[in-house]
Amino acid sequence: MTQDTDSIGVVNTEIVRLDLPEGGFKLDDGGCLSEIDVAYETYGTLSEAKDNVVYICHALTGNAHAAGRHEPPDPDEPDAWWNEMVGPGKGIDTNHYFVICANILGGCKGTTGPSSIAPETDSPYGSTFPNVSAGDIVNAHVLLLKQLGIERVAAAVGGSFGGMQVIEWVIRFPDTIDHGIVIAAAVCLSAQGIAFDIVGRAAITSDPDWKGGDYYDSGSAPTQGLALARRVGHITYLSREIMADKFGREKWRAGQSDSVPDSRIDKFHVETYLEHQGEKFSRRFDANSYLHITRAMDEYDVASQYGDLKTAFERVRSKVLIVAVSSDWLFPPEQSEELANALLTAGTRVSYCLLNAPHGHDAFLVDVEYLSEVIRAFLPWVGPRPDSRRIGLKGGEENVDRVKRRDLHKISQLIEPGSRVLDLGCGNGELLTRLAETSGVQGVGVDIDIHHVIRVIERGHDIFQADIDSGLSMIPDGAYDYAILSETLQAVRKPHLVLNEMLRVADQGIVSFPNLGYWRNRLRLSMFGRMPTTSLDAKPWYETDNIHPFTYRDFIGLCRQDNIKILDTVCLTSGLLGRIFVATGLSNLGADLVLIRVAKE
């Protein structure tokens, strides 16, 4: 995917001392820093209007080196951590955007942290380094931007703890950010996630070399504890499946390899891998930074910080994209859904996307094919947009654009201009685009297919990737004027539930469905003794998606039973006979597609 694009080339890290306000940099937890250096890198070119800035917030143990290469390379970290995503023609396209990534406050990669020299004492902070929060970290990001002469970013993007920084950014500095992209993150870490961090921190603080945090001048460092903490962390970044694939139960036999630590005894591959990861990490990272940053992550909690999620998210002015990874168990999809739900409830423009990837939490670093597409589709393109920028989704375009629904025109006629519309099973967003163009409607889609999701986002609409059958719990009561089920109700597993959910989240529903009562269908069963499917879809009975076929009359019956009012009915048909039936009032016989506008009594 990156073969035909240019590499980003050599980029070295810059360090800048922030201009701090009078009295220093006040921290959320009450502390203060009188001096802050920030290490950062930039890729691409800042536009004259300064409207093409994409800011990358790195995760727990990342650094400013998101892309390109250092000259000379760092032997412990030869590769930039997000080269797959950032570069010419990539998901975050450096031909178009000016990309910034800075090491976070409290880190150990050039930005002020516990291992930095405290100006007050002229020796390393060590145990005296104050607690920093996710908010402090974002505050430093915004100060860096200011120093670079930038008032506003087109987008900030981050995965894991980086995603938490983006969440905090859109809340705390709403006027500095247009788009927020939150990947594999949440409004707080789960109890299980905290538990793993607790174990990791305990491993460090029980290492005799930690010395209460003041080890910098002692000639040794708590590398054993830090390595142990890293091993625990590393397990949580991978899914069980990928660990089984990668290592299984394979062993290094004693003496098999000189490169294996302690090669005198048999070891599982996973053992030597974790030992290697831990040992490498303890060479390149500072134990106190690990303590501070994991603590900042554990303590981050939007609800408790702002009172509740709604209060917090009502401050947001950005469009937000939430991306979850199916196999992530550190920040599981449920938590991303919770975040998306809360943003929606607060009235934010939000899209939610679930990537099907086996790698676990680390997928956002290593399995970027679909992630690149989603980010590319969501990022605001400044100036004329090339016709087709998408790569790596072979066949996707045909797939999503094939479906042409003949009820779309009729549906758009039933909708009042300027209303709030939810399109359930929105497909590639054709109806949403039509409504936006003809009625100025800002609609939201729901669909399960990732190709549809990418296309709808690219068209500029908001979308929730979800299975309608699981209910619409992410959508608050009465959030929409209209909810639409276009040729979808007969294909869901629980039509009754879906119909009622539809009228919970919207004042009115518009339902279109193929009519099993259409004369050709009746003929097929009564005369030919076959299940009528051909007029419903192209698939035979044993493969049809239409698992709950019903007639116009059946639908009326259900509406009566559930006290659902019928406001409008449109009967679509074809052929002379169908038209005659409809004209003479025999709609259940004549209509092959029925479109009904409904509301609760």
> What is the closest distance, in whole angstroms, from the C-beta atom of residue 586 to its own copies in the complex?
9
Q: Does 566 sit near its own copies (CB under 8 A)?
A: no
Taking the C-alpha atoms of residue 279 and residue 176, their distance in angstroms, rounded to an integer, is 40
304 is a site residue for its own copies (CB under 8 A):
yes
Q: Which of 361, 451, 452, 461 is catalytic?
A: 361
Is 461 one of the catalytic residues? no
Residues 189-228 contacting its own copies, CB under 8 A: 190-192, 194-196, 198-199, 202-203, 206-208, 224, 228
CB nearer its own copies, residue 156 or residue 238 = 238
Residue 243 touching its own copies (CB under 8 A): yes
CB-nearer residue toward its own copies: 291 or 456: 291
Contact 38, 102 (CB under 8 A): yes
Reference 458, options 399, 371, 390, 391; nearest CA is 390
Residues 132-191 that bind its own copies (CB under 8 A): 188, 190-191
Extract the tokens encoding 140: 């430093």
Work out whether strand 251-252 and strand 267-268 pair parallel, antiparallel, or are unpaired: antiparallel
Tell me whether residue 248 or residue 418 sits nearer to its own copies (CB atom): 248
Among 260, 274, 572, 582, binds its own copies (CB under 8 A): 274
DSSP-derived secondary structure letter, 382? P
Under 8 Å CB-to-CB from 102, ≥6 apart: which residues? Answer: 38, 39, 40, 41, 64, 111, 140, 141, 144
Q: Does residue 15 interact with its own copies by CB under 8 A?
A: no
The pair of structure tokens assigned to 218 is 């002692």
Q: Which of residues 505-524 bind its own copies (CB under 8 A)?
A: 516-517, 521-523
C-beta of 199 vs 580, nearer to its own copies: 199
Q: Which of 181, 486, 469, 174 is nearest to 353 (CA)?
A: 181
Burial class (CB in 10 A: 0-12, 13-18, 19+), 194: middle
588 part of the interface to its own copies, by CB under 8 A: yes
Cβ–Cβ under 8 Å, residues 572 and 591: yes
The distance between the two most distant Cα atoms of the chain, rounded to a whole number of Å, is 96
d(CA 106, CA 96): 31
Q: Tokens 């894991």, residue?
A: 160
Helix 287-299 and helix 134-147: axis angle, to 10°? 110
Chain position carrying tokens 């001392």: 17
Under the criterion CB under 8 A, does residue 525 sit at the interface with its own copies? yes
Residue 306 lies near its own copies (rule: CB under 8 A):
no
H or E segment and range at residue 482: strand 480-486
For residue 584, state whether it binds its own copies (rule: CB under 8 A): no
Instruction: Select the residue interacting with its own copies from 17, 146, 246, 409 (CB under 8 A).
Output: 246
The SS3 assignment for 431 reads: helix
Of the listed 136, 178, 207, 328, which one is catalytic? Answer: 328
Considering the complex, state which of residue 20 and residue 235 has its C-beta at the smaller distance from its own copies.
Answer: 235
Residue 279 to residue 282: CA distance in whole angstroms:
5
Say how far apart CA 169 and CA 163 lie, in whole Å.
10
Rule CB under 8 A: which of 279-298 touch its own copies? 298
Where does this chain touch its own copies (CB under 8 A) — which range of 265-273, 282-290, 393-401, 563-571?
Answer: 265-273
Per DSSP, helices labelled H in 61-190 are: 134-147, 161-172
Residue 141 annotated in active site:
no
CB 201, min distance to its own copies, A:
9
C-beta closer to its own copies: residue 141 or 231: 231
Per CB under 8 A, contacts with its own copies among 372-391 are none
Q: Is 407 in the site for its own copies (CB under 8 A)?
A: no
DSSP 35: -
By CB under 8 A, residue 73 contacts its own copies = no
Mapped onto helix, strand or coil, the DSSP state of residue 596 is: strand
Of residues 308-347, those binding its own copies (CB under 8 A): 329, 332
Q: CB 493 → its own copies: shortest distance, Å? A: 8
Known catalytic residue at 361: yes
How many residues bind its own copies (CB under 8 A)? The answer is 70
Q: Which residues, listed in sequence order, are joined to residue 484 by a DSSP beta bridge?
A: 423, 510
Cα 57 from Cα 62, distance rounded (Å): 9
Query: Measured from the CB atom, is 187 or 408 closer to its own copies?
Result: 187
Q: Residues in the site for its own copies, rule: CB under 8 A? A: 188, 190-192, 194-196, 198-199, 202-203, 206-208, 224, 228, 231-232, 235, 238, 240, 243-244, 246-249, 268, 270-271, 274, 298, 301, 304, 329, 332, 493-496, 499, 516-517, 521-523, 525-526, 528-532, 540-544, 547-554, 557-558, 588-589
Q: Which residues are catalytic?
A: 160, 328, 361
